[in-house]
Amino acid sequence: MNYIDSSLKVVGTRPIRPDGVDKVTGRAVFAADTRASGMLWGKVLRSPHAHARIVSIDTTKAAALKGVFAVVSGVDFPEIASEEAFVGEGPMNFRDLSLNCMARDKVLYEGHALAAVAASTQAIADEALALIEVTYEVLPHVIDVEDAMAPGAPVLHADMFTSGVSPKPEKPSNIAKVVTFKKGDVEAGFKEADVIVEGSYTTQPVHQAYIEPHACLASYAPDGQVQIHTSTQGHFMVRAYTAKLLGISMSNIRVNPAEIGGGFGGKTLVYLEPVAVTLSRKSGRSVKMQMTREDVFRASGPTSGAAMTVKIGAKKDGTIVAAQQVLKFQAGAFPGSPIGPGCMCGFAMYDLPNVDVVGYDVVSNRPKVAAYRAPGAPITSFAVESLMDELAIKLGIDALTLREMNAAKNGTKTHYGPVHQNIGFTAVLDAVKSHPHWKSPLKEGHGRGLATGFWFNIGGESSAQVHVNEDGTVTAATGSPDIGGSRASIGMMVAEVLGVPATAVRTIVADTASIGFTFLTGGSRVTFATGMAATQAAEKVVEDLKRRAAQTWDIPVEAVEWKDGMAYPAGSNAGAFEPLDLAALALKAGRTGGPILAEVSVNAQGAGPGFGAHICDVSVDKETGHVKIERYTAIQDVGKAIHPSYVEGQIQGGAAQGIGWALSEEYIYNTKGQMENAGFLDYRVPVASDMPMIEAVLVEVPNPRHPFGARGVGEVPIIPPMAAIANAIRSATGLRMPDLPMSPPKIRAALDAAG
């Protein structure tokens, strides 16, 4: 069924989320809050070197220490064949993942795990780590992406030959693959252009910086059954990876998703779980592991940094005739940067006849990247949307007008193939035009920037169950970890279908043994895909309830209608019966066919793409180079906001992360390839006093493929901020800042250089 044009009672309201009280009282159980009988503490020994051969690891002394129950290193993990699959966020090579969890012959970045211990206390575990004797042969390392591509760079993987080029290279290199996308004839396009603008841009790797460090508790029983409690965006993903990496069957692994303290894409692969299971297997005890904040920065994945060039050609009237982009993305120590989406998203906002994009996936001695909100899109869009601003200036056309003229619409064919359908980009740009922020005069000394962003959003596999309890209340169970309020949105959709208040439905996240497979929480898919499954399950329950009412009244099921949470006889011909509510029907469930429940699993297609536009005003302290965000408005097509507060929250949070990416977040390496700022003191995420209020404007162009019209919302808001801020700085100072972060020293230096 489709409810897009229905009048809704629950969807679109702002009830208190079902897990809210637990989270404001300290009751909520996160992974590090769990304990088990006889539990040990597991800790990881990490490489101090950026690149080294492991000559030997001697664990004798550590193993002999009193209170140590297991010591493991690479030899304790099965060799995994090179095999790629799509289990987490993007293609993953199982061998790479295994090597990332525990190094074998080489360590490839500072922080790379190479051994682990389980001990009765954390202090003993620390002491044991210090007793592990490792002999390294330190190798030359490379950090920067362009250095890593250069001939003669230290090669990380002797068996890696660039794919996507022909003929196949004869020598290994750090370039894992080359990706190209072409539409039309870009050379001919540039020949037609009256104006051509070009720019080179760089971005730094940034970490998702979820406040909760990775943590898990694993137990390997003598019969081979494994239990894992963990902080993850996908417990089925943890099960799959752990099974694959350790050679255990999935039926022997049960993963319980703990409350998750933020992920943003960073908890879509495994780090600790296979290690904890191995320690537990070896020690015969449960093992709890948690990363320190320093571990999180050094050993878990940020997103890529990049070096990029962009070239755009346009007619004098502003019509873009050609666009070209070269993207070099850092993948970290193993291939797998988001170069594909990077190549696809940069120009996806525009209707362009001739496009040529080339992308490189490049390894270097940094932690393996992980997904981070709209992976690849913020990077590529920073470059494109900065250059669009330059084009507008050069043409003397207003930044919004230039975008309106070239905006992608329904029917626009993208440069990577698909045709945009049911998109709301025009509606977003209209909302910019009519917004008081855009119309307000600029204050003295302030600058204003505009930038836009696109993300595909995804659907995929989800399972949901709806149970009517014996008293008529409702439980909804799904396989989607709740990272930012999805229990609320799922419960609301179920409540809407059942015709009951939101509070009548409790939503829970079921473990891997208690619900059908559900792909991880990411790509802004949960409200869309899991919401679709839950909606359909609720619809099945309604059909069942109607059948039960019909049975009770002894009338045909067609003569029963369901309204406001109750079964009514449909019209006077059906008979005169008092309506039956959920409680009444549940009470007699035993007589009408037994327990009332429905489970639906879907592979949801048709996730509607999301578009956003951000307006940002800044002031710049011209002596210190400090940028202050004075006003910020984020406008986005969300399809349909199921719970508007959490939709706004996604947009505000995404924008805040983008502001950090733009102004202050970066990885700082010393000459030895060691990270110098592995902590919240010097890895500078925005704090409350850095931020203005962020006005989130919800544009609702329904996605016809979702029962309520929802689109994913979590990814898009992190895309526009970097360029919006860069464009605002350009407006305030005349300076084009092509390198992130646009930190005070860079701005002061640029001001000085400009005189």
User: Between residue 415 and residue 454, which ones bind other proteins under the rule CB under 8 A?
Assistant: 415-421
Nearer to other proteins, 67 or 154 (CB): 67
Strands (E) across 121-194 are located at 133-138, 175-183
Q: Which helix (H) or strand (E) holds 360?
A: strand 355-363
Pairing type for strands 306-314 and 320-332 reads antiparallel
Residue among 652, 503, 638, 504 nearest 15 (CA): 503
Amino acid at 477: A
- Nearest-angstrom CA–CA distance, 429 and 435: 10
Q: Interface with other proteins by CB under 8 A: which range of 26-34, 73-81, 184-192, 316-324?
A: 26-34
Q: Interface with other proteins by CB under 8 A: which range of 149-157, 323-331, 523-531, 567-575?
A: 523-531
Q: Which helix (H) or strand (E) holds 201?
A: strand 195-203
Residue 528 DSSP symbol: I
What would the two tokens of residue 333 be? 């120590």
What would the two tokens of residue 375 be? 């992976």
Binding mask 680-699 for other proteins (x = CB under 8 A): xxx-xxxxxxxx-xx-x---
CB of 703 to other proteins, least distance (A): 12
Nearer to other proteins, 3 or 456 (CB): 456
Binding mask 608-637 for other proteins (x = CB under 8 A): ---------------xx-x-----------
Q: Which of 111, 302, 460, 479 binds other proteins (CB under 8 A)?
A: 460
CB of 257 to other proteins, least distance (A): 13
Say if CB 550 and CB 559 are below 8 A apart: yes
Q: Is 656 in the site for other proteins (CB under 8 A)?
A: yes
Q: Is 237 in the site for other proteins (CB under 8 A)?
A: no
User: Footprint of other proteins on residues 699-718 (CB under 8 A)?
Assistant: 712, 714-715, 718
- Nearest-angstrom CA–CA distance, 556 and 157: 69
Q: Is 364 in the site for other proteins (CB under 8 A)?
A: no
CB of 132 to other proteins, least distance (A): 15
Half-sphere exposure of 740 (CA within 13 A, CB side): 35
CB of 713 to other proteins, least distance (A): 12
- Nearest-angstrom CA–CA distance, 79 and 98: 8
Torsions phi, psi of 686, nearest 5? -60, 140
User: Footprint of other proteins on residues 240-299 (CB under 8 A)?
Assistant: 259-266, 268, 290, 292-294
User: Footprint of other proteins on residues 87-146 (CB under 8 A)?
Assistant: 88-91, 123-124, 127
Nearer to other proteins, 288 or 730 (CB): 288
Nearer to other proteins, 424 or 569 (CB): 424
Q: Interface with other proteins by CB under 8 A: which range of 103-111, 323-331, 541-549, 646-654?
A: 646-654
- Nearest-angstrom CA–CA distance, 614 and 428: 10
What would the two tokens of residue 525 be? 């898919």
Q: Is 748 in the site for other proteins (CB under 8 A)?
A: yes
Number of residues that bind other proteins (CB under 8 A): 135
User: Footprint of other proteins on residues 204-223 (CB under 8 A)?
Assistant: 208-213
Q: Write out the DSSP string of 122-143.
A: HHHHHHHHHH-EEEEEE-----
CB of 566 to other proteins, least distance (A): 29
Say if CB 229 and CB 217 are below 8 A apart: yes
Q: What residues contact residue 212 under an 8 Å CB cut-off, 6+ apart?
A: 30, 31, 32, 231, 260, 261, 262
Nearer to other proteins, 151 or 745 (CB): 745
Q: Is 755 in the site for other proteins (CB under 8 A)?
A: no
User: Footprint of other proteins on residues 293-332 (CB under 8 A)?
Assistant: 293-294
